[in-house]
Amino acid sequence: MSTEISFEYEALKHYSRKGIFARTGLISQLILDLREISKKERSAMQEYGINENEGIAVLQIAIVSHIMMLIEDLAIICKSIREGKINYYAYLDKTGEEDLGKIIGEFYSEINEVHVEELSKILSYADLSSFEFVSESEKSTVVEIINQMIERSRIFFNKVTFFRMNHIKIFRRYKHAGFPILLSQNIHEEVKKIYEGFEFVSISLTSRTKISDEMVPLPYSEKAITSYENLTKDILSFLGSVVHSKLICIERKMSGLIPYKDNLFGINFSKKEIDLLDEIWKRIESKSPLPEDKSEITVKTNTEILRWYTEIENSSKRIM
């Protein structure tokens, strides 16, 4: 494995073991903080004039934005794997026509319409026309299982795309300068029926031309927070499985694999299907054993020195 490929492999492996959990763990922590805020006598935000509902609104916007970041991870990693590569890092600093935002937008504009073969690549499934099956019956069973996984994947991507489409404008306003978001506003009479059951809304000013031309509401309720929690868990399960499968292919030097009996969608396979998958995986493990787990990165890298921290005594002083 070349040095460059080693870095790409190690980056993907670290994402699998730590990065994805850093993302989802932070979202879980924000949800916990939001649910705890009303139980506290005084929150840190109150010291800055942010009342309880406004504090909840800030945390809700932060949760939505971090889910959007996780959705961006999902796009670039799935796109990379779908194209037969693992170097998702190559997309991160693209500009102009290949801007990262445009790459992510194009991924989600087409993912719900892509062919079965394209979803199979994302899931790292083997090319069944060249895979060594022991019988036609075994092959047809695997085809049926893969079709179930593909169908569930389409449902998953539909839900992720739906969430992204509803929150992209709010996310842009949160991550860019100015914070043009009105926190914890009363729900206007005209839309009370639409947002029945919600306690308040935050209003994001999203027009690209005139400030009063477009406003996007973000309604708050406990059910909304539960929906964020469940979507995060779904993305964790799907993306974690996608990355793990690709790493298995790299480590075993395989072009693709067959689904596991313990599948990410929790489909209850029959005993016959489980026994069949077990037999196939015994053959895979025998033919393509795992190598020793060791890092091949031994070269020195250019590390930037951050003077904020090397001069921390000065950095930590107030100037006002």
pLDDT per position as a tens digit, 257-300? 999 888 878 888 999 999 999 999 999 999 988 877 655 444 45
| Distances from the Cα of 286 to the Cα of 44, 244, 251, 281, 283, angstroms | 57, 19, 14, 8, 5
Alpha-carbon gap, residue 276 to 134, rounded angstroms: 11
Give the tens place of pLDDT for each residue, 191-203. 888 888 999 999 9
Tell me the β-bridge partners of 216. Answer: 204
- Does any domain span residue 212? no
- Does any domain span residue 239? yes
H or E, element range at 215: strand 215-220
Alpha-carbon gap, residue 35 to 51, rounded angstroms: 15
Fill in the amino acid letter for 245.
S
- Does any domain span residue 291? yes
Report pLDDT for 214: 87
From first to last of its 320 residues, the chain has per-residue pLDDT tens of 555 557 788 888 999 999 999 999 999 999 999 999 878 777 788 889 999 999 999 999 999 999 999 999 999 999 999 988 777 777 777 777 778 888 999 999 999 999 999 999 999 999 998 899 999 999 999 999 999 999 999 999 999 999 999 999 999 999 888 889 999 999 888 888 888 899 999 999 988 888 888 889 899 999 999 999 999 999 999 999 999 999 999 888 888 999 988 887 888 899 999 999 999 999 999 998 887 765 544 445 677 888 888 888 998 898 88
Number of domains present in the structure of the chain: 1
Tokens of 60: 């809700």
Q: What percentage of the chain reaches a pLDDT higher than 90?
A: 60
Quick one: CA torsion of 138, 267, 20, 71, rounded to 10 degrees?
A: 100
Tell me the β-bridge partners of 205. Answer: 215
Alpha-carbon gap, residue 204 to 144, rounded angstroms: 46
> Which domain, by its residues, includes 173?
3-183+217-315
Fill in the amino acid letter for 271.
K
- Does any domain span residue 211? no
Report pLDDT for 193: 87
- Does any domain span residue 41? yes
Strand order in the sheet with 200-205: 181-185, 200-205, 215-220
- Does any domain span residue 191? no
Alpha-carbon gap, residue 63 to 31, rounded angstroms: 7
List, in order, residues 6 or more apart from 268 with CB less than 8 Å away. Answer: none
Quick one: CA torsion of 183, 198, 109, 159, rounded to 10 degrees?
A: 130
Report pLDDT for 295: 52
- Does any domain span residue 197? no
| 45 three-class SS | helix
Tokens of 40: 């506290």
171 CB neighbour count, 10 Å cutoff: 20
- Does any domain span residue 155? yes
Q: 3-state secondary structure string, 149-197?
A: HHHHHHHHHHHHHHHHHHHHHHHHHHHCCCCCEEEEECCCHHHCCCCCC
